[in-house]
Structure 1
Amino acid sequence: MRRFVRMVVFFVIATIIATTSFAFTFQGAVDRQSHSTSPRSLRQLISSFHLDSTEETTKDAAARTRRSFLQESFVTVTVAGITNAAFPANAFDGGVGGLGKTKPQTGVKFFGDGSGPIQNDKGIVTAEIQSISGKPILVSFQTPWPLLTSSGLEARDLRNSESAFIQVVSMPKNDWRDKKVFEQLLLDSVLASTGKFGMYGQPYNVQVKPFKTSNDVDGSIAQQQLFSVTFTTLTPAMRESERKAMIQCKQIDTDTLVLLVAGTTAARFPSNEGVLGDVVNSFQAAKAPESKLR
């Protein structure tokens, strides 16, 4: 019995000490610490709470302690929330970070079910795509890089910056073989803000150079033409990237121009020019026989 009484007395004394020690004046401490909201200042805020010298009953002290606890919890959660709400380091890297960006518009539409791209063990990519008027076109090219499964028709070196992709555009009114006309065609498609290289700002410093072909020598009208193009584009971090590409063009009927664009960074182009040249020279595009069966 005596032991039980001692335990009760000890419990009552401990309760009084606990409730009294948590009684403090909250506003005064906040005023003293209002210049800082860091986690460290919060600890200083809690440690600076002074004991209330007024005598309170156990009931009043408990009620005051609850209010103080709720106030303390609110401040703790608020400060912690502000501290933890900092944006990830790369969330808006370079101002945009790719947020809200859509897939580039390459103009590639596959002709129907079963006409999607395939790549054999020799790296030859084949597909049946639509012309501007919706007619079937068979395209193929050979590349040492794997075919991507994303939308469009593209193969890419997954470790480096080399890639090759198909772009389908409407035939311009003027002769597309003309340097200035072709440059504008690129600015409206591949190098547009919705194009493959314009996702983070339209490329600039564009320079187009046509390669002479056998058709240029004999004076006949070429249905294909090879160009080289250099330009400056922006990375997701909004850094400039000098790039160079080789573009093989194939005219299909009178309304469609199919481009194979193979390129890399300007720094890597000299060591990969042979590979890129092989890719664009392997490009084939031709009208597919039309049939009611698809």
Structure 2
Amino acid sequence: MGVNAGLRSLTRRSRPRPETGVQISGVGVMEGEDASGARVVAAEVSSGKSRVEVSFLSPWPVTSEKTMDAKGLEVRSKGASAFLQVIQGSDLSTDHLLEEVLSSKGKFGAYGLPEAIQVLSDESDDTGRRVQVRFTAYSPKSVEFETRALLRAKVLEDTTYVLVATALEDKWAQAEAQLVRTVDSFQVAAA
């Protein structure tokens, strides 16, 4: 256990930016309202040679353009957030999605790989996959945080687009309805 804490401490000092694979095109990110008045976030994302449009409902605004280069496409409030992750290839298996989203290069593995990973639900349909997972993440000071995430993955042109909605376990009950609505509204289409 002391070794893991020491490794997390070393990782903390040399923290690279999370690799979400998101490249916002020159069109940028747009925010607006749908017919019901709900906030809609849309962006044109570059993936290799192709561009796709992603959109979802969000109860929160997009992070500022100043932080977008470092954070990618992300919306957040205190205690909950959602972000886009782009994965090359079309493997929608739960193991592959979790391996990518919870990797040391991603947002959750920055200060040590997540541990105690539990898949709470796993559904697949003709439009993609939806997975809910609970895990332990670490802060820069190696403090453990019980975290829950809901992933919605869709494939377009041999690329997987994953909207990840997350909250700390003790905030999940308050944020769950908003996070489920956000993930369930996720759309990906050719630009």
1:205 to 107, 110, 116: 116
Please tell me whether residue 153 in structure 1 is matched to residue 153 in structure 2.
no
Question: Among 249, 254, 271, which residue is 2:153 paired with?
Answer: 249
Tell me the distance in 1 between the aligned counterparts of 2:116 and 2:73: 26
How far apart are the structure 2 equivalents of 1:275 and 1:117? 21
Unaligned runs of 5+ in 1: 1-93, 216-221, 289-294
Q: CA separation in 2, counterparts of 1:135 and 1:256?
A: 10
Q: Which residue of 2 aligns with 1:140?
A: 55
- Secondary structure of the residue aligned to 2:28 is coil
Residue equivalent to 2:31: 119
1:86: which partner in 2?
none
Whose strand proportion is higher, 1 or 2?
2
Counterpart in the other structure of 1:191: 102
Q: How many percent identity over aligned positions?
A: 34
Q: Distance in 2 between matches of 1:212 and 1:199?
A: 28
State the partner residue of 1:106.
20
More helix by share: 1
CA distance in structure 1 between the aligned counterparts of 2:123 and 2:113, rounded to whole angstroms: 28
Q: Is the 8 A contact 1:128 1:139 kept in 2?
A: yes
- With a CA cutoff of 8 Å and minimum separation of 6, indicate the structure with the bigger relative contact order: 2
State the number of aligned residues: 175
Q: Which residue of 1 aligns with 2:162?
A: 259
Match of 2:180, SS state, is helix
Question: TM-score, normalised to structure 2's length?
Answer: 0.83
Pair member with larger Rg: 1
| Secondary structure of 1:280 counterpart | helix
Contact map agreement 1:127 1:138 (CA 8 A) in 2: yes
Equivalent residue for 1:64?
none
Unaligned regions of 5+ residues in structure 2, if any? 1-7
Q: TM-score, normalised by structure 1?
A: 0.55
